[in-house]
Amino acid sequence: MRGVFLIFAACDPSGAPTIALLQPVDGATVCGAPLVIEVQVDNLDLVAPVDDPATASPGTGHVDVTLNGQDVAMFWAETIEVPGVEAGEYQLKAELSNADHTPVDPYAGAFVYITVTEAACSR
């Protein structure tokens, strides 16, 4: 039950940044036009990334998303729509990065396995 792990991963009493994938859920069949991704982020303020590390405020960052290991999105909100994801089976991974693009420490990420199909778009 990979989905249960993701729920518990979001409950970190240490104050470290955490992320949980709320949508899509593990094993879901979803539309890829667009692929809607919703996360819950705790202990990190989501902001647009910065190019100059000196301007990054502590405790700020963004979400990096990959599909089967390929970068597909970077966002700083808890919901995003990724357009034009082709039909297929994917591992969707969401990871937290600091505003200066460095990974948060300790690592904070979550993943699910999904199937994207055009048939799911007509629901």
- Could you tell me the CATH number of the domain that includes residue 71? 2.60.40.10
102 assigned to some structural domain = yes
Total domains present in the chain: 1
37 assigned to some structural domain = yes
120 assigned to some structural domain = no
Q: Cβ(59)–Cβ(46) under 8 Å?
A: no
Render pLDDT for 59-95 as a digit per residue (tens, 0 to 9).
999 999 999 999 999 999 999 999 999 999 999 999 9
42 assigned to some structural domain = yes
80 bridge partner residues: 37
6-15, 32-41, 57-66, 98-107: range with lowest mean pLDDT? 6-15
Q: What is the pTM of this model?
A: 0.85
118 assigned to some structural domain = no
> Residues 4-27: what's their mean pLDDT?
74
Residue 54 phi, psi dihedral angles, 5° rounding: -65, -20
Render pLDDT for 28-58 as a digit per residue (tens, 0 to 9).
999 999 999 999 999 999 999 998 888 999 9
Determine the structural domain holding residue 51 and report its residue range: 2-112
Work out the number of other CB atoms within 10 angstroms of the CB of residue 64. 19
117 assigned to some structural domain = no
119 assigned to some structural domain = no
85 assigned to some structural domain = yes
